[in-house]
Structure 1
Amino acid sequence: MLVLASASPARRRLLEQAAIAHRVQVSGVDEDAIYHTDPAQLVQLLAKAKAQAVRDACTDASITAVLGCDSVLAFEGEVFGKPIDAAEAIARWQRMAGGWGELHTGHCLLAVGAARECPALDIHGHPTTERLATITTRVHFAPLTAAEIEAYVATGEPLQCAGGFALEGRGGALVERIEGCFSNVIGLSLPLIRLWMGRLTSQ
Structure 2
Amino acid sequence: MPNPIILASASPRRSELLIQLRVAHEILAADIDETVRPGEAPELFVERMAREKALAVLERLGPGDRRPVLGADTALELDGEVLGKPRDEAHFLAMFARLSGREHRVLSAVALVDRERREARLDVSHVTFRPIDEAEAVRYWASGEPADKAGGYAIQGLAAQFVERLAGSYSGVMGLPLFETAQLLNEFGVETL
TM-score (norm 2): 0.90
Corresponding residue for 2:83? 80
The separation in 2 between residues aligned to 1:157 and 1:60, in whole angstroms, is: 39
Is the CA contact 1:69–1:105 (under 8 Å) kept in the aligned structure 2? yes
Amino acid at match of 2:71: G
Corresponding residue for 1:173? 161
Q: Is 2:80 the partner of 1:89?
A: no
The separation in 2 between residues aligned to 1:149 and 1:29, in whole angstroms, is: 30
The separation in 2 between residues aligned to 1:18 and 1:44, in whole angstroms, is: 22
Q: Secondary structure at the match of 1:83?
A: coil
Corresponding residue for 1:53? 56
Corresponding residue for 1:158? 146
Q: Secondary structure at the match of 1:37?
A: coil
Is the CA contact 1:2–1:21 (under 8 Å) kept in the aligned structure 2? yes
Q: Secondary structure at the match of 2:126?
A: strand
Corresponding residue for 2:182? 194
The separation in 1 between residues aligned to 2:23 and 2:166, in whole angstroms, is: 25
- Identity percentage over the alignment? 33
The separation in 2 between residues aligned to 1:98 and 1:135, in whole angstroms, is: 23
Between the two proteins, the alignment pairs up a number of residues equal to 186
Counterparts of 1:108-187 in structure 2, within 5 Å, are 108-112=111-115, 116=116, 129-187=117-175
The separation in 2 between residues aligned to 1:135 and 1:70, in whole angstroms, is: 10
The separation in 2 between residues aligned to 1:156 and 1:60, in whole angstroms, is: 41
The separation in 1 between residues aligned to 2:141 and 2:28, in whole angstroms, is: 29
Q: Secondary structure at the match of 1:56?
A: helix
Q: Secondary structure at the match of 2:188?
A: helix
Structure 1: runs of 5+ lacking an equivalent:
117-128
TM-score (norm 1): 0.86
Structure 2: runs of 5+ lacking an equivalent:
none
Q: What whole-Å deviation, never above 9, does each CA across 1:78-105 have from its counterpart, x for those lacking one?
A: 2101011111111111111110000011
Amino acid at match of 1:103: V
Is the CA contact 1:71–1:81 (under 8 Å) kept in the aligned structure 2? no
| RMSD between superposed Cα atoms in Å | 1.6
CA apart distance, 1:37 = 2.4
Amino acid at match of 2:42: P
The separation in 1 between residues aligned to 2:98 and 2:184, in whole angstroms, is: 36
Is the CA contact 2:110–2:122 (under 8 Å) kept in the aligned structure 1? yes
Corresponding residue for 1:126? none
Q: What whole-Å deviation, never above 9, does each CA across 1:102-142 have from its counterpart, x for those lacking one?
A: 00112111024xxx3xxxxxxxxxxxx11112211000111
